[in-house]
Amino acid sequence: MADAYHYSVYGDYGRSLPRDLDGYVHLTAAGWLAAPMDTAGEPMTAEQAEALAEQARAATREAEAAVAAWRESSDADEALAVAGLVCGRNVEEDASGGQGHCWRLVRGDELPASIREEIEAEMIDGGVDSTDDYMAMNGCHYRW
């Protein structure tokens, strides 16, 4: 795995991970020391950076184990096929923060309820059958 990744890689679980101001989770102390952080004017110490890196590595191992267990479950494919659809369509989220180079499939049940409703309204009421880039109220970019 890379030294850093965007928290959205792990869907809603990613929101609980330690991340910098741009939403990236760093697996090394050097990454944390170089990352944009809100430290209230105090520079981060090497010890604090290493503690964040260890916390991120442990949380990443936990997330990867949970994903692997889910993929091995007998009903994972069926659940993904059903839960992955919003109004019968696949929805992808841009994990690159709107830059458009890191699209990932988002299961419908991973979306916050308000955002799923917003996207459904665009699909149904707005008549938008597909779009290359839709920015939702939460500031995230989606396509379907």
End-to-end CA distance of the chain: 28
Is position 77 within any domain? no
For residue 130, is pLDDT > 70?
yes
Crossing angle (nearest 10°) for helices 76-83 and 46-72? 100
Parent domain of 111:
82-143
Q: Provide the b/e sequence for 9-20 (b: ≥16 CB within 10 Å).
A: bbbebbeebebb
Res. 67 pLDDT band, cuts 50 70 90: confident
Is position 29 within any domain? yes
Report the share of the chain in percent with pLDDT over 90.
34
Structural domains of the chain, count: 2
Distance, in Å, from the CA atom of 141 to the CA atom of 101, rounded to the nearest integer, reads 11
Residue 13: name the closest of 76, 56, 73, 72 by CA: 56
The residue written with tokens 């991120």 in the block is 56
47 and 93 fall within a common domain? no
Structural domain ending residue among the three candidates 72, 93, 110: 72
Is position 135 within any domain? yes
